Amino acid sequence: MEKKKQISMAVIRRLPKYHRYLRELIKNDVDRISSRELSEKIGFTASQIRQDLNNFGDFGQQGYGYNVKELYNQISYILGVNKEYKTIIVGAGNIGQAIANYNFEKSGFHLTGIFDVNPKLIGLKLRDIKVQDVDQLEEFLKENSIDIGILCIPKNAAQRICDILCNNGVKGIWNFAPVDLVPSKDVKIENAHLSESLLTLSCLMNS
Amino acid sequence: MEKKKQISMAVIRRLPKYHRYLRELIKNDVDRISSRELSEKIGFTASQIRQDLNNFGDFGQQGYGYNVKELYNQISYILGVNKEYKTIIVGAGNIGQAIANYNFEKSGFHLTGIFDVNPKLIGLKLRDIKVQDVDQLEEFLKENSIDIGILCIPKNAAQRICDILCNNGVKGIWNFAPVDLVPSKDVKIENAHLSESLLTLSCLMNS
């Protein structure tokens, strides 16, 4: 169960979707499912599914299919959703506020601090957390063990904040700023570049 | 210039990033760039870049590199950023409000209507647009030619709204609801599944 192979980035990107579909199956009391049936639901080919899920051990048996609960547990483990994370948001503008109010708590992501540079936002309360001056970020990070920094700031400020986060124990950055950050140490970056997602849509509409 | 090959989804997903880097190069008065130099900036391999950009015609010349402006224009054309789009937002909660306040206008995406089911939100003004009752959505779509519907609603309501959009002339859906929609006709869907992006980050942090 606990063994971990090196899993490719392409597979990692598909895992949350598997996770979501398996959770639905459990809700609907489905105990097992074949790669063909899963394929019809999730939209990947059956062969792609078998190849992907092969990474995590022997959950599929010919003629039996996958044990839904076991597979879900294993994918949860690989996704790290069985853990708890302390998060902070830097940038309390539109996106920052939306993320603050989005309920990620139930998935184990606990919002612990919010920072901004704008005096009009400092002191504002979002979900009982007061927005602090970004000048206090470094001290806050030194006093609290924060796992994830969520960057919702303009691109010009992003690398500087990224550096502060990397140098003060943060392990992952969820980056909404439209820029590619260069992390130091072994900090992981996941971009949520909304403009690029919208351009992908307009590209699809024109192709 | 105008020829269009079938471009793979993997390349389409990389195009907005090329677009962003090329825009920066133009800002910095760079006229041409080799695949090797571009590789150092953008993080794809030089061979990947040559292969990707080969899709769009002969912009690269051995020993000369790419003509930045021409390549930028061609990618802009393929992304459809030279066009204007009328958009509506369905769901004026946290994410919907953030998207409404995000400045996509300068990229040609013009917000034309906002809809919600919540009486507390109906009548609220976001960027001079009054939130309307979602019951008026269908009529609005019949009277206005809308290109893109932006769904910021709970998953349970999403397919029903998707059907209304698809049946009333919308050509693309930008979907923030954590569910895979089944479009009718030739409507394109681009998902912005924030929870899945966050799970990708926790997965990377645990790998």
Model confidence pLDDT, tens digit, residues B120-170: 999 999 989 999 999 999 999 999 999 999 999 999 999 999 999 999 999
Predicted local distance difference test score (pLDDT) of residue A6: 73
- According to DSSP, the residues that pair with B191 across neighbouring strands are B175
Q: Of the candidates A17, A98, A198, which has its C-beta nearest B104's C-beta?
A: A198
How many angstroms separate the CA atoms of A79 and A66, rounded?
19
What are the residue boundaries of the structural domains of chain B, listed by start? 9-79, 85-197
A96 is in an annotated binding site: yes
Model confidence at B6: pLDDT above 80:
no
At B77-118, the pLDDT tens digits run: 999 988 999 999 999 999 999 999 987 888 899 999 999 999
How many angstroms separate the CA atoms of A155 and B138, rounded?
38
Model confidence at A137: pLDDT above 60:
yes
Predicted local distance difference test score (pLDDT) of residue A96: 96
Most A CBs within 10 A among B2, B159, B199, hence the mutation to make, goes to B199
How many angstroms separate the CA atoms of A3 and A55, rounded?
10
Predicted local distance difference test score (pLDDT) of residue B121: 96
Residue B129 identity (one-letter amino acid): I
How many angstroms separate the CA atoms of B122 and B110, rounded?
20
Q: Of the candidates B17, B107, B204, which has its C-beta nearest A188's C-beta?
A: B204
DSSP state of A168: T
Predicted local distance difference test score (pLDDT) of residue B109: 95
**How far does B205 lie from chain A, in Å, by closest CA?**
6
At residue B9 the predicted structure's pLDDT band, cuts being 50, 70 and 90, is confident
Predicted local distance difference test score (pLDDT) of residue A110: 96
Q: Which residue of A has its CA nearest to B192?
A: A197
Vertex A27, ends A24 and A32: CA angle to 5°?
75
Q: B9-79 — its CATH code? A: 1.10.10.10
Least confident of A31-35, A51-55, B56-60: B56-60
Of A88 and A207, more confident:
A88
Rounded to the nearest angstrom, the gap between the alpha carbon of residue B90 and the centroid of all alpha carbons in its chain is 16
Predicted local distance difference test score (pLDDT) of residue A58: 65
At residue A5 the predicted structure's pLDDT band, cuts being 50, 70 and 90, is low
Q: Show residues of chain B in contact with A180, CB under 8 Å.
A: 17, 42-43
Q: How far is CA B85 from CA A87, B10, B111, B172, B173, in A?
A: 36, 24, 9, 10, 12
- Cβ-defined contact of B95 to A81 (cutoff 8 Å): no
Predicted local distance difference test score (pLDDT) of residue A59: 60
A92 is in an annotated binding site: yes
Query: Span A50-74, mean pLDDT?
Result: 81
- Cβ-defined contact of A188 to B171 (cutoff 8 Å): no
Most B CBs within 10 A among A84, A101, A206, hence the mutation to make, goes to A206
Instruction: Write phi, then psi, for A111 (nearest 5 degrees).
Output: -75, 125
| Proportion of chain A above pLDDT 90, given as a percent | 74
- Cβ-defined contact of B95 to A102 (cutoff 8 Å): yes
A123 is in an annotated binding site: no
B169 is in an annotated binding site: no
Residue A58 identity (one-letter amino acid): D
Q: Show residues of chain A in contact with B80, CB under 8 Å.
A: 199, 202-203, 205-206
Q: Show residues of chain B in contact with A15, CB under 8 Å.
A: 199-200, 203
Q: Show residues of chain A in contact with B189, CB under 8 Å.
A: 201
CATH architecture for segment(s) A85-197: 3-Layer(aba) Sandwich (3.40)
- Cβ-defined contact of A174 to B202 (cutoff 8 Å): no
Query: Span A154-183, mean pLDDT?
Result: 96
Q: Show residues of chain A in contact with B12, CB under 8 Å.
A: 200, 203-204, 207
Q: Of the candidates B7, B15, B203, which has its C-beta nearest A80's C-beta?
A: B203
Model confidence at A62: pLDDT above 80:
no
CATH architecture for segment(s) A9-78: Orthogonal Bundle (1.10)
CB atoms inside a 10 Å sphere around CB B185: 9
At residue B72 the predicted structure's pLDDT band, cuts being 50, 70 and 90, is very high
Model confidence at B193: pLDDT above 80:
yes
Predicted local distance difference test score (pLDDT) of residue B64: 76
Residue B73 CB contacts under 8 Å (≥ 6 apart), including other chains: none
Model confidence at B2: pLDDT above 70:
no
A169 is in an annotated binding site: no
- Cβ-defined contact of A172 to B204 (cutoff 8 Å): yes
Model confidence at B3: pLDDT above 60:
no
CB pairs under 8 A between A and B: 166
How many angstroms separate the CA atoms of A201 and A184, rounded?
33
How many angstroms separate the CA atoms of A146 and A49, rounded?
35
Looking at every residue in chain A, the average pLDDT score rounds to 91
Residue B88 CB contacts under 8 Å (≥ 6 apart), including other chains: B111, B112, B113, B114, B115, B137, B140, B141, B146, B148, B149, B150
Give the strands of the sheet with B129-133, arranged side by side.
B125-126, B129-133, B109-116, B85-90, B148-151, B172-175, B188-191
Vertex B71, ends B67 and B76: CA angle to 5°?
155
How many angstroms separate the CA atoms of B130 and B170, rounded?
20
A88 is in an annotated binding site: no
Model confidence at A150: pLDDT above 50:
yes
Q: Which residue of B has its CA nearest to A126?
A: B94
Most B CBs within 10 A among A23, A147, A199, hence the mutation to make, goes to A199
